[in-house]
Amino acid sequence: MNAPLLSLRGVSAYYGSVAALRGVDLDVNEGEIVTLIGANGAGKSTLMMTVFGAPRARSGTIAFAGEDITARPTHAIARLGLAQSPEGRRVFPRMSVQENLQMGAALHGGRYFGQDLEKVCTLFPRLKERLNQRAGTMSGGEQQMLAIGRALMSRPRLLMLDEPSLGLAPLVVKQIFSAISALNREEGMTIFLVEQNAYHALKLAHRGSVLVNGRITLSGPARALLDDPSIKAAYLEGGHAPTASVGEGVQA
Partner 1 sequence: MAAASSASPAAILKDAGLFALVAFGLCVPIVSHRTDLGADGLELTPRWGLVAGLCAAIFAVRLVQRLVLERRAARAVLTPSPHQATEPVGAEPNAAQYPSSLGLPRLGLPLFVGFALFLPLIAALASGGLSPARYWIDLGILILTYVMLGWGLNIVVGLAGLLDLGYVAFYAVGAYSYALLSTVFGLSFWVCLPLAGLFAGLWGVMLGFPVLRLRGDYLAIVTLAFGEIIRLVLINWTDVTGGSAGISSIPRATFFGVPFKAGPDGFSALVGLPFDPMHRIVFLYYLILALALLTSLVTLRLRRLPLGRAWEALREDEIACRSLGIDTTKTKLTAFALGAMFGGFAGSFFAVRQGFVSPESFNFLESAIILAIVVLGGMGSQLGVAVAAVAMVGGPELLRNLGFLKAVFGEGFDPNEFRLLLFGLAMVAMMIWRPRGLISDRMPTVALGQRKAIGKDLVREGHG
Nearer to partner 1, 84 or 197 (CB): 84
Nearer to partner 1, 11 or 107 (CB): 107
Q: How many residues bind partner 1 (CB under 8 A)?
A: 40
d(CA 168, CA 145): 11
Q: Which member of 2, 17, 132, 243 binds partner 1 (CB under 8 A)?
A: 132
Q: Which member of 8, 33, 38, 150 binds partner 1 (CB under 8 A)?
A: 150
Q: Rule CB under 8 A: is residue 79 a binding residue for partner 1?
A: yes
d(CA 50, CA 44): 10
- What is the number of residues in the chain? 252
In whole angstroms, the minimum distance from the beta carbon of 35 to partner 1 comes to 20
The DSSP line for the chain is -PPPSEEEEEEEEEETTEEEEEEEEEEE-TT-EEEEEE-TTSSHHHHHHHHTTSSPPSEEEEEETTEE-TTS-HHHHHHTTEEEE-TT----TTSBHHHHHHHHHGGGTTTTHHHHHHHHHHH-HHHHHTTTSBGGGS-HHHHHHHHHHHHHTT--SEEEEE-TTTT--HHHHHHHHHHHHHHHHHH--EEEEEES-HHHHHHH-SEEEEEETTEEEEEEEHHHHHH-HHHIIIIITTTT-TTS-HHHHHH-
In whole angstroms, the minimum distance from the beta carbon of 195 to partner 1 comes to 19
Sign of the alpha-carbon dihedral angle for 46, 191, 64, 73: negative
Considering only residues 36-55, where is the footprint of partner 1 by CB under 8 A? Answer: 52, 54
Q: Rule CB under 8 A: is residue 109 a binding residue for partner 1?
A: yes
Nearer to partner 1, 23 or 81 (CB): 81
Q: Which stretch binds partner 1 (CB under 8 A): 15-23, 34-42, 101-109, 201-209?
A: 101-109
Q: Rule CB under 8 A: is residue 209 a binding residue for partner 1?
A: no
In whole angstroms, the minimum distance from the beta carbon of 110 to partner 1 comes to 7
Q: Which member of 104, 149, 208, 214 binds partner 1 (CB under 8 A)?
A: 104
Q: Rule CB under 8 A: is residue 229 a binding residue for partner 1?
A: no
Q: Which member of 19, 65, 103, 212 binds partner 1 (CB under 8 A)?
A: 103
Q: Which member of 154, 184, 197, 209 binds partner 1 (CB under 8 A)?
A: 154
* Footprint of partner 1 (CB under 8 A): 52, 54, 73-75, 78-79, 83-84, 86, 90-96, 98-99, 102-104, 106-107, 109-110, 125-126, 129-134, 136-139, 150, 154
